[in-house]
């Protein structure tokens, strides 16, 4: 049995569903990402970029609902709203061969 974690990064939440090849849906979880507003300015809205925290919480909830350990998840399928999430390795190198992704990772490290 192979398990895939389907991850959906949305505007106000991260949702994770665990699927098994022979059983279908095993469990799911979600976590919110706050939208910040300013009192007195109804047009102001901004997000706090804490998607990593929300992803961790959603994965923990999905694993708990599915009653499977995290080391049984073989793959991730990720969908995002826009292009705000780029998977990287421990050195902040994009997990891919795209030049534009490498440029973004370089900028994220503070090296123009």
Joined together, the tokens standing for residue 99 give: 């030049």
Chain-wide mean pLDDT for the chain? 81
Please give the average per-residue pLDDT across 82-94, as a whole number. 69
Rounded to whole angstroms, how far apart are CA atoms 104 and 107?
Answer: 5
Reported pTM: 0.68
Rounded to 5°, the CA angle 102-108-110 comes to 110
Which residue has 């469990």 as its token pair?
27
Looking at the structure, tell me whether residues 24 and 55 fall in a common domain.
yes
Query: Rounded to whole angstroms, how far apart are CA atoms 58 and 18?
Result: 11
One domain for residues 29 and 46: yes
Dihedral sign (CA 87, 92, 97, 99): positive
Residues 54 and 93 placed together within one structural domain of the fold: no
Q: Give me the domain span that covers residue 92.
A: 83-112
The pLDDT assigned to 48 comes to: 65
Task: Give the residue with greater pLDDT, 25 vs 32.
Answer: 25
**107 and 58 belong to one structural domain:** no
In this structure, are 52 and 95 located in the same domain? no
């Amino acid at each position: 049995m192979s398990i895939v974690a389907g991850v959906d990064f949305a505007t106000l939440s991260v949702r994770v569903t665990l699927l098994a090849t022979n059983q279908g849906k095993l469990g799911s979880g979600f976590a919110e990402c706050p939208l910040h507003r300013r009192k007195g300015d109804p047009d102001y809205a901004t997000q706090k970029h804490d998607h990593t925290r929300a992803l961790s919480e959603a994965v923990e909830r999905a694993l708990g609902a599915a009653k499977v350990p995290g080391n049984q998840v073989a793959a991730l399928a990720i969908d995002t709203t826009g292009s705000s999430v780029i998977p990287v390795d421990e050195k902040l190198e994009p997990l891919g061969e795209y030049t534009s992704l490498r440029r973004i990772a370089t900028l994220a490290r503070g090296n123009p």
